[in-house]
Amino acid sequence: MSAPLYDVAIIGGSTGGTAAYLAACALGVNAILVSETTRLGGQFTVQGVSALDEHAYIETFGGTASYMRLRQTIRAIYQREYGAPARMPHSLLGDDKPLNPGNGWVSRLCFLPSVGVAALDAMLTNAPYTLPILCGWRPVAVQQIGDHIQAVVVQDASGSQQPIRARYYLDATDAGDLIALAGVPYVTGAESRTETGETAAAETAKPSEVQGFTYSFAVEFRVGEDHTIPKPEGYEAFRDRQPYTLAPLGRDGKPVTYRMFAQHGENLPFWTYRRIHDGALLGGNDIALINWVSNDYHGGDILNADEATRQRYLDEAKRLSLGFLYWLQTECPRDVGGKGYPELKLRADIMGTADGLSELPYLRESRRILPLTRITAQAIAAETNDGARACHFAASVGIGWYAMDLHPCVGNPQASLYAPTRPFQLPLGALIPQQPINLIAACKNIGTTHLTNGAYRLHPTEWAIGEAALHVAAFCAHNNLTPHALHADAWQVLRLQHRLVQHGIPIAWAVDVLPAHPHFHSTQMLLANGVLAPEGGRWHSLIVEPAQPLGESVCLEQLRQLAARLSVGGAHIAPASLHADLTWAELCSIFNQAWHVLA
């Protein structure tokens, strides 16, 4: 019996892959998910980074509807099972903030990985459709004719194999494994300045200069107890080379000192940085997630290594992390004098592993496709974009916002960048390889650069990438289009954007017109189609002020061109009805009657 044919095969259980699978379950797409791990979620579950890296607007805007639902579900679990309050009585980020179970200061939402898994399970239970999933399988080969993938061969731990047949494939593996297996051209490490035009890029390409990855772990502080682990092999070398420290070098090259439990100047304590269980709030002892510069592994490039070398690097990375724990227990300066905190107990149960480390390492950098649209630093950097938003992409399929965050790299441990960006978009062309093929990038393997990768890899943005990729694949399947044909057809892109916004996926930045607002859909579609006039008032603000007149903030010619495009589908918007005296809300009302032609 031949293998079933799916419309979409999601290969990889990363954060992007999980978002794609949830979207498929919501839409009823003929899809399957193949995951290396039995738990979904990627970086916030099996990679242990359950302190979400987000932006300043995330509580009300800037995530997809399903990502916002994930956050709400996590909080609801804590309220139901821990008796946690809806809002924080005392928060390191300011009082009366929405519930943050760990009360950590790096994130508005810090929680146990197991609660992330439980939230995903609840979302899947409530999904209208149940779709097949293969857990514990990974891709090992691709069967293709020319540029068409006919099947992806997946294998489980016992060595059993089976083919997965689909019309379209999403590479949702954290390392871009499917891209490599399919022979899709990709880059790793640092591109050259000539290639990307980025002033901060390397003069020559350095494919092995990949950012470090991390095996996270969780520790509980148990007063009066000794939980010192055996000293890991190679401890002294790791300690001195990394180094192990609570005073890492800042961007100016000078140490930035943190204390374990006490505040040092303006620096809040190391312990509460990624605390994921606040005992004072939830009961019991504090538990902290340890993901720090001292256990970022940059001793070898696992993306370009053979399997034996890759396993050696992974083993070293594990011993590096355990060595940092041993240093914290034995040599870390105590706040009140002396050395070491033997009271720190490694909580292996929290990561669900025998050694107490995250099941998979947190990969900051993947193989990246050579895309139709490459996202470069100049497109998103604050210093090269004078409006409130980053460079406008007409074919936007999502949004995100985070700084360009470059960690120490293989062969260049001094590499560091934390450059501000403007709130940015996710261009459709960044998900599609230049090589025509039935594969779409669905997580941190999209067409970013070494520098911009650090802005697009974070939790809400990777989630948005995966969700958008599923919609792109499903749209192509329904309309019998290739991804390249979709990208080249402005009308079909407009139809795709209409579908995305209908499903709660923002594609443009307007922080005062939220998803529940009656003009959310029109606001998103108008902004995504470039109606703002450069240097106008709304160009320089993330708010659009629906009650205020358009004035000179909107390009009327662009509005009329959009109306003309919609008229081809049967919409009737009189050009004379579009004028500067309209308010933004009135403009939206006019277009509200036209979007149905995109269905």
Mean predicted lDDT score pLDDT of the chain: 96
pLDDT digits (tens, 9 = 90+) for 195-242: 999 999 999 999 999 999 999 999 999 999 999 999 999 999 999 999
Describe the crossing of helices 520-528 and 584-592 by its angle, rounded to 10 degrees. Answer: 90
- H or E stretch at 493: helix 490-502
CA–CA gap between residue 575 and residue 563 (Å, rounded): 8
Over residues 135-144, mean pLDDT: 97
Backbone torsions φ then ψ of 161, nearest 5 degrees? -130, 155
pLDDT digits (tens, 9 = 90+) for 281-323: 999 999 999 999 999 999 999 999 999 999 999 999 999 999 9
Asked if residue 593 lies in contact with residue 571, where contact means CB atoms within 8 angstroms, the answer is: yes
CA–CA gap between residue 28 and residue 34 (Å, rounded): 17
User: If pLDDT is split at 50, 70 and 90, which confidence band does 262 have?
Assistant: very high
Residue 249, pLDDT score: 85
User: If pLDDT is split at 50, 70 and 90, which confidence band does 428 have?
Assistant: very high
CA–CA gap between residue 207 and residue 203 (Å, rounded): 13
pLDDT digits (tens, 9 = 90+) for 523-579: 999 999 999 999 889 999 999 999 999 999 999 999 999 999 999 889 999 999 999
Asked if residue 114 lies in contact with residue 57, where contact means CB atoms within 8 angstroms, the answer is: no
Residues pairing with 421 in the sheet: 381
Over residues 360-368, mean pLDDT: 98
User: If pLDDT is split at 50, 70 and 90, which confidence band does 251 have?
Assistant: confident
List C-alpha distances in Å: 429 to 235, 336, 394, 433, 491. 45, 55, 10, 8, 15
Over residues 130-139, mean pLDDT: 97
User: If pLDDT is split at 50, 70 and 90, which confidence band does 91 have?
Assistant: confident
Residue 26, pLDDT score: 97
- H or E stretch at 484: helix 483-488
Asked if residue 301 lies in contact with residue 290, where contact means CB atoms within 8 angstroms, the answer is: no
pLDDT digits (tens, 9 = 90+) for 28-60: 999 999 999 999 999 999 999 999 999 999 999
pTM over 0.75: yes
Asked if residue 479 lies in contact with residue 494, where contact means CB atoms within 8 angstroms, the answer is: no
Res 470 pLDDT > 90? yes
Please state the domain extents for the chain: 5-88+108-190+365-375+428-495, 213-351, 510-598
Give which of 499, 531, 534, 501 is closest to 519, Cα–Cα: 501
In our burial notation (b when 16+ CB lie closer than 10 A, e otherwise), range 387-418 reads bbbbbbbebbbbbbbbbbbbbbbbbbbebbee
Percent of residues, the chain, with pLDDT higher than 70 = 100
Residue 437, pLDDT score: 95
Structure-token pair, residue 589: 């009302």
Residue 1, pLDDT score: 58
CATH 3.50.50.60 fits 5-88+108-190+365-375+428-495, yes or no: yes
